[in-house]
Amino acid sequence: MKQPLTDPFARAIRYLRVSVTDRCDFRCDYCMVEDMQFLPRADLLSLEELDRLCSTFIRLGVQKLRITGGEPLVRRNIMAFFRAMQRHLASGALQELTLTTNGSQLGKYAAELAECGVKRVNVSLDTLDAAKFAAITRRGRLDQVLAGIKAATDAGLRVKINAVALKGVNEDELFPLVEWCAAQGHDLTFIEVMPMGDNGALDRYWPLTDLAARLASRFTLTELAERSGGPARYVRLEQTGQKIGLITPLTHNFCESCNRVRLTCTGQLFMCLGQEDSADLRAPLRASPSDAGLETAIRAAIARKPKGHDFDYSRQQVTGRMSRPMSHTGG
């Protein structure tokens, strides 16, 4: 048994988020610019290299693997990677294999994802208004995403909706989103927009303290002690029994329990979403067929994991802004 990964603050690293591509078939305006320049395909790790990296992390104690992008399902032959990860589920070393997606390709892949051992997916959906959806995503179609969500449900996948709280954009849809998710049986999590890349975040920042207060005007909210291994804290709406997640990196720093790191499609390991420090794992990965050097590099990176991020909206000027777009790190 390998010595588990533990950061300087005694947090065991059990959760790896892996971006398999920076490409996406949408151009959500809070995530990337419209004329996004994507990485050359030659810079990306191969699926075999991603397998080796993820397998090394699992051997070092990672128990939860979330596949992200860009949009992960636009990566060529991506289902081969999911099928490869299935062996870790079968062995019991990996407890959970999940996916974050924009939903556009779920109609094509939902059944196969379920066959590979994926039990649930997170779908980004900020609005139920087709015109607003087209404006936010710049090229997405709401009907395609809703059809993908239905395909996921039909395949037996649990669906969680992630909605970015955008002031002046989807404020008026707070209750319709809650009611739609309740009717469909989907979990729902709201996320504060984060200052990453050129996303005009300050103009549309809607603090979840305000969102929660609006929910409380209609429902009785009970704080839940439940934690899913991610940054969300949860409340229950007593009138419906519905669980609502709140991800608040700005109004409520969730760093004290952070047990995750993020791997990009080029082999960069970011120990914190809100810090620029990263470690190059591609070089040791390719330097030797042995994993010894790779394990050493991973442990050295975890030893640099900071206590928390630097995001701050407390002033009119955003501080702690990350120059890289969200799509580069994978959320």
The model's pLDDT over 233-270, given as tens digits with 9 standing for 90+, comes to 999 999 989 999 999 865 545 566 688 999 999 999 99
Q: What's the structural domain count of the chain?
A: 1
- The answer to whether the CB of 122 falls within 8 A of the CB of 231 is no
Give the whole-angstrom CA distance, residue 216 versus residue 225.
18
Binding residues for S-adenosyl-L-methionine: 30, 70, 124, 194
Binding residues for GTP: 17, 66, 100, 160, 260-262
Q: Give residues with Cβ within 8 angstroms of 166, minimum separation 6.
A: 30, 126, 136, 193, 204, 206
Provide block-wise average pLDDT over 10 residues at a time, the chain (331 residues): 86 96 93 87 94 97 97 97 98 98 98 98 98 95 98 98 96 97 96 67 85 97 80 91 86 67 96 84 97 97 81 46 51 52
Q: What pLDDT is attached to residue 315?
A: 41
Query: Is residue 72 domain-resident?
Result: yes
Query: Is residue 150 domain-resident?
Result: yes
Query: Is residue 39 domain-resident?
Result: yes
Query: Is residue 51 domain-resident?
Result: yes
Nearest to 234 by CA among 249, 252, 221, 216: 221
- The two tokens of residue 138 are 């710049």
Query: Is residue 292 domain-resident?
Result: yes
- The strand order across the sheet containing 15-19 reads 221-224, 233-237, 242-247, 187-192, 158-165, 120-124, 96-101, 64-68, 15-19, 260-263, 268-270, 278-280
Looking at residue 209, its amino acid is T
- State the DSSP code for 71: -
Residue 208 three-state SS: helix
Binding residues for [4Fe-4S] cluster: 24, 28, 31, 255, 258, 272
- Would the CA dihedral through 271, 159, 59, 231 be positive or negative? positive
**Tokens 């050129």 appear where?**
198
Q: What pLDDT is attached to residue 6?
A: 94
Give the whole-angstrom CA distance, residue 287 versus residue 52.
13
Do the strands 268-270 and 260-263 form a parallel or antiparallel pair, or are they unpaired? antiparallel
DSSP string, 38-58: PPPGGGSPPHHHHHHHHHHHH
Q: What pLDDT is attached to residue 331?
A: 52
Task: Output the domain CATH number for residue 42.
Answer: 3.20.20.70
Query: Is residue 182 domain-resident?
Result: no
Q: What pLDDT is attached to residue 224?
A: 94
Query: Is residue 185 domain-resident?
Result: no
Give the whole-angstrom CA distance, residue 258 versus residue 275.
14
The model's pLDDT over 213-225, given as tens digits with 9 standing for 90+, comes to 999 999 999 999 8
Q: Is the peptide bond before 70 cis (omega within 30 degrees of 0)?
A: yes
Q: Give residues with Cβ within 8 angstroms of 282, minimum separation 6.
A: 45, 49, 266, 267, 268
CA 136 to chain centre: 18
Query: Is residue 139 domain-resident?
Result: yes
Looking at residue 169, its amino acid is V
Give the whole-angstrom CA distance, residue 134 versus residue 101.
17
Binding residues: 17, 24, 28, 30-31, 66, 70, 100, 124, 160, 194, 255, 258, 260-262, 272
Nearest to 96 by CA among 278, 224, 259, 254: 259
Domain that holds residue 111: 15-160+254-329
